[in-house]
Amino acid sequence: GFSYEPRGLSQSTAVGILLMTIYFTKIPKKILLIFIPFCLYFGFAKTMSAAGIATMVMGLTLILFSSLFLNGRKYFHSLQIKIVAITILILPLVFLTLTGDSKSQFKKHMQNRSYLLKGTSLIDRLEDQESSALNFLLSSPKAFFLGAGPGMVYLPASKYRVKKFEVENPLGAKNLFNVLPHMGMILQLSNGGLLSFSLLTVLFLFLLQKMVIRKDIIPTHHIVLFILFSGLYLFQVRLIYYTAIAIGMSYNLGKKKG
C-alpha cells in the first residue's frame, strides 16, 4: 500500500495535507483546523521520517510559487497563502509536543540522518538504488546520454554500489540486486538518459504553456496540481499515483459546487 513503511505513511500524509491546502475552499474550516494538526502529529512526529518532511516542504514550495506565478500579486492577499503559512508554522510546533521516549527517539533518528546535511557527496546522501544507478551513469557518458533501457539499469548498476550499502546489505548468489531507483529524476535518466529526460521536460513545458494560455477555461488549481505532482514525481515516483486521487477530488468537489 501507500504506507508500507513509516516513510511511506509520512509521504502519504504530506500529500493529503498538500491537497487540503489546494481544496481548502471546499473543505469545512473546522475539519482543516482539526485534521491538519492531527496528521502532522501522527504522520510526521510519530513516524520520524525525514522523507515526509522533505515532501511537505517541496510540495508547499511548488504550491506557493506556482500559485504566485498564476495569480500574480493578488495571491499574497488570498486565503490559501494564509493556510499554507499556518501549516508551515504548525509543523515545527508539532514536534515540541513529543515527550519522554518519543522525543529522545526522534532526536536520535534525526542525528542518524545528519549526514544528509554534512559536506558529503551527493551519491553518499542517496539510497542504495539511486546511488548505484547514478554512479553507473556518471561512469559511462554513453549511458548518461542514452540510458540503460526501460527498467534495465539495475543490471549494470549492481557493479557500482556504494561500499557502505555492500556492507549493510551484501548480495548473495540468490539475492541479486534488482531494485530500480525510486527518485523519478534518476529513474528517467536511467531509462532513457539525458535525451529522454530532456524530451519529457520539453513535453512538460509545452503542456504547461497550453494550460496557462487557457487558464480562463482551465481552473487554476488544476494547473497547480499538474505542477505539484510533476515536481513530486521527480522526488519519489510513488507519489504520482496520487494524481488519480486529486483528479477524483477535483471532479467530485466541482460536481457538488454545480
Closest by Cα among 49, 40, 57 to 97: 40
pLDDT for 175 beyond 50? no
**Mean of the per-residue pLDDT values of the chain:** 79
At residue 25, the pLDDT reads 72
Q: What is the pLDDT of residues 89-99, one digit of tens each?
A: 777 776 676 66
Please give the span between the terminal C-alpha atoms of the chain, in angstroms, as a whole number.
33
Supply the pLDDT for residue 253.
61
Write down the pLDDT at residue 77: 67
- What dihedral angle (degrees, nearest 10) is formed by the CA atoms of 136, 142, 147, 152? -60
Going by pLDDT thresholds of 50, 70 and 90, the confidence category of residue 24 is confident
How far apart CA 20 and CA 12 sit, in angstroms, is 13
pLDDT at position 148, please? 92
pLDDT (tens digit per residue) in 134-155 = 999 999 989 999 999 998 998 8
pLDDT given for residue 176 in this prediction:
55
Categorize the per-residue pLDDT at 20 as very low, low, confident or very high, splitting at 50, 70 and 90: confident
